Amino acid sequence: MQAHLAAQDDDMWYVIIDGSMKIMKVSTDKTLTNGAPEMKEKPKYEWTAEDKRKVNLGNVAKDILYKTLDKNIFSKIKSCSTAKEIWKKLTQLCEGNDQTKENKLMVAIQMFESINMRLRVTMTEFDE
């Protein structure tokens, strides 16, 4: 259980730092020149429950980031459409000397990491 939660946290940070996940699969008709199989995007009708969870992480990350911000900061990032955009805007807003930046980001990270969602809780229930 702990390993699954750690992997989910890693996936969440990936979405925040690198952007939304693309669900990929091995192409059955192509290989790369080094002999490795080529990857292609997996069609939605083939997605597993885990694939759907990973795709939804962007929405979950956005929601968590929104919940950790005060009204003043929220008003400055509410037009962002992805968790990556929100994070980029937050890092721009937190500019200052290196110590100030680090302190502000540490507080934001601690607030983000302190939010926990129980298993089998819907987003609506979590939002209440």
What residue spans define the domains of the chain? 2-127
Tell me the C-alpha to C-alpha distance, in Å, between residue 105 and each of 11, 48, 62, 66, 92: 19, 34, 16, 15, 11
Q: What is the pLDDT of residue 32?
A: 62
pLDDT-flagged residues of the chain (< 50): 1-6
105 and 91 Cβ atoms separated by less than 8 Å: yes
Q: What is the pLDDT of residue 111?
A: 78
Which residues face 19 on adjacent strands? none
Q: What is the pLDDT of residue 45?
A: 93
- CA quadruple 97, 108, 15, 96: dihedral, nearest 10: -10
pLDDT tens for each residue of 28-46: 776 666 667 788 889 999 9
